[in-house]
Amino acid sequence: MTQSPARLLAQFDPTEHPHRRRNLLNGDWVLVSPHRTKRPWQGQVERPPQDNLPTHDPKCYLCPGNERMGGHINPAYDSTFVFTNDFAALLTDSPSHDISRGHFFQAEAETGTCRVICFSPRHDLTLAQMDVPDIRRVVDVWAEQVVELGSRPDIGYVQLFENRGAMMGSSNPHPHGQVWANRRVPTEPALEEREQRLYFERTNRPLLIDYLEAELDAGERVVLESREWVVVVPYWAVWPFETLVLPRTPVLDMPGLSDPQRDDLAGILKQLLVRYDNLFETSFPYSMGWHGQPTDGGRYPHWQLHAHFYPPLLRSATVRKFMVGYELLATPQRDITAEQAVERLRQQSGVHYLLDK
């Protein structure tokens, strides 16, 4: 006798049984294998980051007054500082003609610019350790960069991001992020634009507004809530403690945030990053980035501003998640469920572990 779908669903335990979850934002799938957390680990162990950094490092090319690798001298800045990357991945004067060589060798010239944002003159700080008013200044700089670069006719998308920690490829511990501004919309934002547009065409509602409402109703994956913002571990999370930062009301991009939203964002970022650090009592590595609407002149009423945090740590400050083998050749896979991850983050103190000792 065939069992009903309801009976089969009742027999399914998402904390024990492998299953797939669909990413609403890009259409991809992730394999969830919660039973694998029981396996022993004899793989690579990372070296914990150094905590006792000086407030100013005379050898750091991002500190105030120091010489950068390209020969420029940094000003004696006392807040944030933005400059064009001395080794930019995008150039404004690249050739713009078609460079494809037939059907099998397609290529397009790409132009743009890359900038570095120093969050603080203090070499020894991270966003998690900065004061909320100083984080608010970073939020303003993010918005300013989108306005300035996005207004240029040769820029179709402005990507704000931060690689935190050597584990995520950061070449310097000084608190900083980056801005890459492209002529064309990059791959991930383009996929998110497609999924948000298709949903909007069916419902006349922004996808992420309805998704957030569903997450708040479920309550299972909400890490933090404030007046203007919500942090969730997304249902489809790939990285162990991945989070999605969402405004409660429709906002197309960073410049569209009101003063209360910016104030509140600085506060909830502080809360989230302190909990990350407290999880394994280490300066938590991650890659994070903001996805706002493209700046190519199109209309995007379906878009909703949001930030992704992708931290690699899995079991401790020294054991990370590796995206290899099956993840590279087939489908991304995770061991702990999103629901298990959010419980770990909720349990963390709102006081930074270095201040709590």
Active site residues: 176
N residues, the chain: 357
Are 52 and 70 in contact by the 8 Å Cβ rule? The answer is: no
Q: Which of 284, 305, 282 has its CA nearest to residue 293? A: 305
Beta-strand ranges (E) seen in the chain are 19-22, 29-32, 81-84, 112-118, 157-164, 176-182, 222-225, 229-232, 243-247, 286-291, 306-310, 333-334
Distance from chain centroid for Cα 68: 27
Task: Find the farthest-apart pair of alpha carbons in the chain and give their distance in angstroms, rounded.
Answer: 77
Are 340 and 237 in contact by the 8 Å Cβ rule? The answer is: no
Angle formed by the axes of helices 187-203 and 207-218, to 10°? 80
Classify 84 as helix, strand or coil.
Answer: strand
